[in-house]
Structures are given as C-alpha cells and as structure tokens.
Structure 1
C-alpha cells in the first residue's frame, strides 16, 4: 500500500512523520558538521571588564562539580603576576559550602579569549600539567552574559552577572552552543536561590 492509498488522516500522519524524521536528521547532521569544525572564540576579551562575580546559569556535567547542587558562582580577580585568580563556590544538597581556588593563565594575549585554568595547590601551579581549557565563546557587549567552553566540546558553562537572567537570553546562548556543535542533552540548569 502506498501513501496515496492510505486514508486521508493516515496520509497526513505519514507526511508529518516523514517531515519530522527529515528535520531530526537535518538537525543531527548540522550538529555533526558543527562538531567537526574548529571551535571559535570571541575576538577579544577585556579582562578588566570580565573580572568580578558571575553566576552559573547552566552547565554540562563535570566531575569536579558533582557536589554542586545550587548557588554556583565564579569570582575572578587579577593577581600581582597578571594572572586571574579563580574562586569557585557552590552548595551541596546538604547545604555545605564547597570552594575551589585556582588560577587562570591567558594563552592568546592580547586577545584574552583562551585561558588555561589550574586548581592544583598554589605551590605547584606553575607546572604545565593539570590545566583545563577555558575558552570564551560568546559574550555580550556589556559583559553581562557569557558562554564558556573548551575545544573538544565536553564542557560548557553559561554565566551571568545576574542570578536570574531572562530565559530568552539564556536560550540565545544555548542555541549558539548547539550551533557550534555542543550536545545539550545532558545540560544542567543551575538553581540559584539569591534574589
């Protein structure tokens, strides 16, 4: 039996199913294509404007954030040697404060869009091991929202100056992440209890 021989309702359902499958296939092909392209960063980050407190809005799962249940923040300050101090905080389900202090090293000065971050003890942080990529992929002109990732697209964070940014802005950044090849099937939306 061909689609033309189906009753009208069945024919319409068949067309919808075929159309949906085509759209899903195109979407998967687009993500696969994007994943094979080199990940691009923003042209330039002005570090002095980037410093300060950022609230995590969303992230892909990351082993060292397994204890983080809510109120995840990152505070960046410049240290005396020109690197960036990183102070990550979050609360676990039982209300315990977790804190990780690290240091970020700019890899592409003066553009400042690619950094390496180390959370090793400060006495051995100078070793070029145990450093993770921190790439600024998208940021607005006012430095209020940022998408951070790494070249293999395993990790991703959407950060905001506000604990509760607009859903439209968050979706814009997540849509951009998808367009450059991120799989957001395991995305975690961060609970922020700050007002």
Structure 2
C-alpha cells in the first residue's frame, strides 16, 4: 500500500506548480489554440540540441487539447516531433493544464504570464523552477517585451542566466 501512495504523490507532483506561483486566470483556450514559437527556455533533455521549435495546440473532441511539438537540430537538419494531449487541472478559465506525451504520465503546463489582450506571448513553467518557456505567436519578440518577461521570471526565482535563446529560421 505504501508504494501506491508514493506513486500517487510522484504523479501528482509532476502536475504541480512551483511554490508561490499562480497560473493566469481569465484564460480563453479558444484564443490560445494555434501555433506558438519557443523564444527562450531552460534546457531540458527532451529538447537538447533543438532549435526552430514550435508547439501547435488544437481543440480535441474530448474537451482537451491536442498538442504537436516539433523542433529541429539545425546542424543535422533532423526534425524531432512529439504528439500529446492536454487537459485542464482546474477550471478552463485558469491557465493550468496537465500534458502527456507518454500514455498515462502527465506533466504540468502552468501559464504564469500571458498577453491577455492579444494572446501574442506567454510564459510557461512546469512543476518546479527548473522548467521555463517563453513562447510567442511570431518567431521573435520585441526586445522590450522579452526583457520584461525575463525580468519577471528572475523575480519569481528562475535562473534566467541559464536561459537558452532559441534560433528560429525565418
């Protein structure tokens, strides 16, 4: 029985949100669907060596989202793709989802900053501060906006000195 509770705790912690952070509210999934480009990130093993990264979200028939992430190794030209699904953890008006690319295993997708007026950029974290992505609808962000997002991330305890600026082919 102890192993069951340990496994339940581990799975729940994978869909958590870093202590002291809140996901955006007033979220509108219909405005969020579509393609987002990765502008900067804290490196993760599943994205090592990749640039030209994008994520495409579309509404699924079961009330969730279908997810297609893809990135390219610019040295070899090889593309890496991952298809997954996402579901809201709280209300659909809260930017907090659980995402799965591997069967029953979910990770958290917490939108902690969002251009609520135009849905042109967002900042996303996972269950802890070692996960951070800055996303945009375009392949670049104006320096002023990117600098403000990075400063916000730094204030929230992210190690912004380790951010990788993603190369996006025009």
- More strand as a share of residues: 2
d(CA) in 2 for partners of 1:167 and 1:148? 19
1:77 aligns with 2:58: yes
d(CA) in 1 for partners of 2:56 and 2:26? 20
1:91 alignment partner in structure 2? 72
1:101 alignment partner in structure 2? 83
d(CA) in 2 for partners of 1:175 and 1:151? 20
Cα distance change of structure 1 residues 80 and 61 upon mapping to structure 2, 3 Å threshold: same
Return the match for 2:114 from 139, 161, 181.
139
1:157 aligns with 2:160: no
d(CA) in 2 for partners of 1:133 and 1:98? 21
Is the Cα contact below 8 Å between 2:23 and 2:94 reproduced in 1? Answer: no
Q: Deviations along 1:66-90, whole A, 9 cap, x unmatched? A: 141x210000001110111110011
Is the Cα contact below 8 Å between 1:84 and 1:104 reproduced in 2? Answer: yes
- Size of the alignment, in residue pairs? 151
Q: Which consecutive aligned stretches of 4+ in structure 1 deviate over 2 angstroms post-superposition?
A: none
- Worse-superposed segment, 146-155 or 95-104: 146-155
The alignment yields a C-alpha RMSD, in angstroms, of 1.4
Return the match for 2:92 from 101, 105, 110.
110
Is the Cα contact below 8 Å between 1:55 and 1:73 reproduced in 2? Answer: yes
Return the match for 2:149 from 162, 168, 173.
173
Shift of 1:152: 1.5
1:29 alignment partner in structure 2? none
TM-score under structure 2 normalisation? 0.84
Shift of 1:138: 0.5
d(CA) in 1 for partners of 2:118 and 2:169? 24
